[in-house]
Chains A and B, each alone.
Chain A
Amino acid sequence: MAEPMKIRASLAGDTAEVKCLMNHPMETGLRKDAKTGAMVPAHHITNVTAALNGKPVLDAQWGGGISKNPYLAFKVKGAKAGDTVTVNWVDNTGDKNTAEAKIG
């Protein structure tokens, strides 16, 4: 299981801004190991989804071009204090992680 992800949601009017920080090496599969010269196999997040109170709001596909330990922020209209935001990711090896935050 991957390390936990950090997630924070803040409210401005009726729009929530959700920021999250994931722990992931995000290997593109194009990099060579400096010592052995062997290609480092691709290992990166492929799908990220987010939901507000269980209703999907964001559905993203990622390649290896997202930086290591990815940062993601997005905004959702129609949110209110106390709502729950959930963020999930899955990587190309089938590993996954999920985090949840209350909008404060």
Chain B
Amino acid sequence: MNNLRRNVLKGAGGASVVTVAVMAGLLKPGMALADWNKAGFDAKDLNGALASIGGGGAAASGDISVKAPDIAENGAVVPVEITSNIAGTEGIAIVGEKNALPLIADFKMMNGAQGFVSTRIKMGTTSNVTAIVKAGGKVYKASKEVKVTIGGCGG
């Protein structure tokens, strides 16, 4: 009797764990992580990060402005504003070239959104902030060096 009861309880417990796991496994990627470029955001080197967003062969462009401070006293909060004057800009990615995880953000614009984003990023050390802009099937880039006196990635 008792043994049977234990087994039934165990069985029920096991089944619910599976259900939870399935729900976590199915719902989470479906809702939250579906279109998150894990390989790119986990890439620890610049080339890997660029390759994951198709930015490896980006051509330098004077029509992109990367506005960031010349010297950032606090690398944890570096304001960055990117404006792309390239017609038909449909994507802007922000890359901190020497960050531990270089890919910072990848924006897609549609339905009238302009080639403009402004945000605040973390920088581990002095390096280039690079904007990768996608427009009309081509990839462009522009960079601005930011000198960081106190890093913002890590302790």
Contact = CB atoms under 8 A, between A and B. Distances in A.
B137 interface: no
B122 A67 contact: yes
Nearest to A60: B107
A34 B104 contact: no
A47 to B, nearest CB: 6
25 contacts: A15-B114, A28-B100, A31-B155, A46-B32, A47-B36, A57-B110, A57-B113, A58-B109, A58-B113, A59-B110, A60-B106, A60-B107, A61-B106, A65-B96, A66-B104, A66-B122, A67-B76, A67-B120, A67-B121, A68-B77, A71-B79, A73-B119, A75-B113, A76-B114, A79-B112
Contacts of A74: 107, 109, 113-114, 116-118
Q: How many of chain B's residues touch chain A, expressed as a range?
A: 35 or more
Q: Could you say which interface size class chain A belongs to?
A: 35 or more
Interface of B: 27-28, 31-33, 35-37, 41, 76-79, 81, 94, 96, 99-114, 116-122, 152-155
Interface string A61-104: 11111111011111111110000000000111010100000000
A91 to B, nearest CB: 8
A9 interface: no
B108 A30 contact: no
B41 A63 contact: yes
Nearest to B104: A65
Interface of A: 15, 28, 30-32, 34, 46-47, 50, 52, 55-68, 70-79, 90-92, 94, 96
Nearest to B94: A65
A33 to B, nearest CB: 9
A28 B117 contact: no
Contacts of A71: 79, 118-120
A61 B35 contact: yes
Contacts of A15: 114
